Chains A and B, each alone.
Chain A
Amino acid sequence: MNAHLAIVRVTLRRLITRKRMIGFILFASIPAVVVLFASTGDRSPDRLAELYHNTTFAILLVVALPVIAIVNATGALGDERRSHTMSFLALKPIPRWSIALATILASVGATLTVAFFAVGLGWLVAGSATADWGIGRGPALAALIAAIGYGTIFVPIGLLTRRATVIGLVYLFLWESSFANAVAALAPTSLGHIALQAYTDVAPGMDFVDSLGTLEPDAGKALLKVLVVALVSLAFTTWALHKRDLA
């Protein structure tokens, strides 16, 4: 195992603790549980599919995954600094970009682990209830985009300030949920809306297509945007590791 993978592995082990994972997966699996209960009634497959998409959007993509991703991302390097273990990572003959990339990969990986269980469970429940096994493609793609977006952008912020998680939550609930929803022109600045841009492209005809603001359903553009966000975060994290105090 090379140095880069070693950092990814140790950061993942720090972020993925048993208690935290159980809490996160339970939180993120609420949509699957809702659909499971609903499927025991006499709802039609179309109504169940609609319920699945609406709860997945409102609970998993708007609240659960962003919160989980922000916690993971701000802790990826921030915890090293706060717990004074940064010297074990930074005083090594490793390029700063490599440390930045490894911690970003771990942050995204930790969030994707939760998303894998939550989306997978929802997919399984909704697929078996509606007999439409393509139903989970939209949530899966949107979860991937959200995990990459939130999971990368808050890594350098976690390194720069102790209040990164609070900043992340304020951004999420004030900017994304309020301003970007209220002002259509602000939608492109919202990671949640970019994830939704992919979701509505893969799963057309959803009610929440109206929430896109000025964005058009387009999975390719959404992926491209989030990859740009990831690259900018990588550059910013590398800069912060170079220029800022690490203890």
Chain B
Amino acid sequence: MTIAAPPTVVLQGVSRWFGQKVAVSEISAEFGPGVTGLLGPNGAGKTTLLRVLTGLIRPSEGSVSVFGFDPRSDHSVYNRIALVPEDENVYSFLSAAEFVAHNARLQKIGDPVEAARRALEMVDLTDVADRKLAGFSKGMRQRAKVAAALVHDPEIVILDEPLNGTDPVQRAHLTRIFVDMGRQGRTVIVSSHVLHEVERMADRVIAMVDGRLAASGTVPALRAAMSDIPLQIRIDCDQPRRLAAALLENDWVGGINVEEGSLHIRSLDAEQLGRALPGLAKTLDIRITRFAPEDESLESVFRYLVEGR
């Protein structure tokens, strides 16, 4: 994926394998100002890619450039970059204020205590700043990690599943923070396996499956690509054979399996099916009790994208 603004992070042919297992395979991508969503099902290689990108682990092949430097050899880039790791673990023996101030000290900030106070305020943790992280909920820990990452005002923020464990109010709050950071011209990379989560904050999306780049582009473009995907849909009704015969007359139906009391339809256009079905049911006097996609998981959608490339 190439973007208009100068890229801050460039990946060129990055692969990473662990023994026989290929976690990331030949990924080339550029990231620049704004929010980019890194989307993919669990096990797609998102976390590995982010670890390679930050220099936590080496690429087996390819190169990573952050502001033109390799983060594994030039550690000065770390005062312009921050990672919120997916792992829940933090220094649980520290209070939130101590934890964030510690990160500020390691970033060599002049007044780490004041910087920590500001960062905790940003994530709404001021009231519990002096409580030990050991007693924090998953969502609160997540916010403490975000505060620790933002304490030095980084230009690149990398967030690995940052909304995990957060409640809807916290999620909305954090989403707003990430969107604002993107609008301020920072490079924000957010990984998630939930499409609508990414959709709310990202201008661009990179989709990964099985360690490979499955799709990339704007969210509407990705949505459009996904709408072309054939879907397996189950319909429970009182006259499945009659309904199947009527549906087969349409060219957007790829095939139908009829079982006792239900149909399994391979639809080439789910939207058309959704529009036509109520009318058909009414005309034929068929009672429909269930209409459900059988394979609408992100993974199956991504698999289609990968296989369709």
Contact = CB atoms under 8 A, between A and B. Distances in A.
A85 B105 contact: no
B91 interface: yes
Contacts of A6: 102, 105-106
A85 B89 contact: yes
Interface stretch (A66-74, A87-95, A103-111): A87-95
Interface stretch (B80-88, B165-173, B249-257, B293-301): B80-88
B76 A93 contact: yes
Contacts of B105: 1-3, 6
A2 B109 CA distance: 9
A72 B81 CA distance: 31
Contacts of A84: 85, 87, 89
Contacts of B54: 87, 91
A93 B51 contact: no
A95 B108 CA distance: 12
A96 B85 CA distance: 20
A86 B89 CA distance: 10
Interface stretch (B55-63, B205-213, B219-227): B55-63
Contacts of A94: 75, 78, 106
Contacts of B90: 85, 88
Nearest to B88: A84
A90 B56 contact: yes
Number of chain B interface residues as a range: 20 to 34
Contacts of B77: 93
Interface in B154-180: none
A175 B71 CA distance: 40
Contact of A91 (B55, B89, B91, B94): B55
B91 A92 contact: no
A210 interface: no
Interface in A215-247: 242, 245-247
Nearest to A243: B58
A40 interface: no
Contacts, number: 75
A86 B85 CA distance: 10
A102 B107 CA distance: 15
B39 interface: no
Interface string A13-37: 1100100000000000000000000
A246 B85 CA distance: 13
Nearest to B87: A84
Given A1-B105, A3-B108, A88-B103, A246 B78 contact: no
B93 A91 contact: no
A169 B58 CA distance: 31
B57 A91 contact: no
A92 B93 CA distance: 21
A10 B103 contact: no
A14 B94 CA distance: 9
Interface in A96-132: 96
Contact of B79 (A83, A85, A88, A93): A93
B55 A14 contact: no
A1 B75 CA distance: 21
Given A86-B56, A246-B56, A247-B57, A96 B106 contact: no
A5 to B, nearest CB: 8
Contacts of B89: 83-85
Nearest to B74: A93
Contacts of B78: 91-94
B64 interface: no
B83 A91 contact: yes
A160 interface: no
B148 interface: yes
Interface centre among B79, B106, B148 (most CB of A within 10 A): B106
B282 to A, nearest CB: 57
A7 interface: yes
Interface in B28-87: 51, 54-58, 72, 75-79, 81-83, 85, 87
Interface of B: 51, 54-58, 72, 75-79, 81-83, 85, 87, 89-91, 93-94, 102-103, 105-108, 148
Given A6-B102, A242-B72, 20 more contacts: A10-B102, A13-B93, A13-B94, A17-B93, A84-B87, A85-B87, A87-B54, A87-B83, A88-B90, A88-B148, A92-B78, A92-B79, A92-B107, A93-B75, A93-B76, A93-B78, A94-B75, A95-B75, A247-B51, A247-B57
Nearest first, the 6 closest Cβ-Cβ pairs linking A and B are A84-B87, A6-B105, A245-B57, A92-B106, A93-B79, A247-B56
Interface of A: 1-3, 6-7, 10, 13-14, 17, 83-96, 242, 245-247
18 contacts: A1-B105, A2-B108, A3-B108, A6-B102, A10-B94, A83-B89, A84-B87, A84-B89, A85-B87, A85-B89, A88-B102, A92-B75, A93-B76, A93-B78, A93-B107, A94-B75, A94-B78, A245-B58
